[in-house]
Amino acid sequence: MGFERFGRVSFTSQTKAGPFVDYLEKEGLYATKCRVCERTFFPPRADCASCMSSDMSWQKVEDNGKLLSFTRACFGPTGFEEDVPYVLAVAEFDKVKVFGRFNADFPEDQLSIGMNVKVQTISLPDGQISYEFIPVQ
């Protein structure tokens, strides 16, 4: 299975990091980790940007993270025009920062830097899948 099933708009069907979609569907969010220099990457990479090694492994992103930053998007790029407004966020999960959307049902005025969050996989129309942040209750 290729990368064509990820997200609302897929600009590529094949990538060396294609297993990301299978992991997301079956086990949750995964990053890649370089076996040489031990740097972790999200979004996943097939090659290390630090030491240039291709010796990468898949690593599950921890269940709980901390919200580092967020912003409200009022203008959407191609394919996302109908989704606005939405909240984009960055959260840190044990040595890896993850960028994504925050669940639209959570009131924006209740978001706060440092709050505990986790990632949930979501199903999109036409069999597409993605992920979003939700607060840890």
**Among 134, 135, 136, 132, which Cα is nearest to 29's?**
132
Percentage of residues of the chain with pLDDT beyond 70:
88
Residue type present at position 33: K
Question: Which of 14-18, 28-32, 79-83 is the least confident region?
Answer: 14-18
Q: Which of 16-30, 41-55, 58-72, 120-134 has the lowest mean pLDDT?
A: 16-30
Measured CA angle at 52 (ends 49, 57), to 5 deg: 80
pLDDT band per the 50, 70, 90 thresholds, residue 25? confident
**Into how many domains does the chain fold?**
1
Per-residue confidence (pLDDT) for residue 59, from 0 to 100: 94
Query: Would you place residue 123 in the very low, low, confident or very high pLDDT band (cuts 50, 70, 90)?
Result: confident
The CA distance from 51 to 39, in Å, is 9
| pLDDT reading at 24 higher than 50 | yes
Give pLDDT, residue 63.
85
Q: What is the pLDDT of residue 7?
A: 53
Find tokens 């924006």 and name the residue. Answer: 108
Higher pLDDT, 55 or 19: 55
Q: Quote the domain boundaries for residue 83.
A: 3-135
Report pLDDT for 132.
95
Residue 1 has pLDDT above 50, yes or no: no
Residue with the two structure tokens 């979003």 = 132
For the chain, give the mean pLDDT.
Answer: 86
Q: According to the model, what pLDDT value does residue 129 have?
A: 86
Task: Provide mean pLDDT across the span 33-59.
Answer: 94
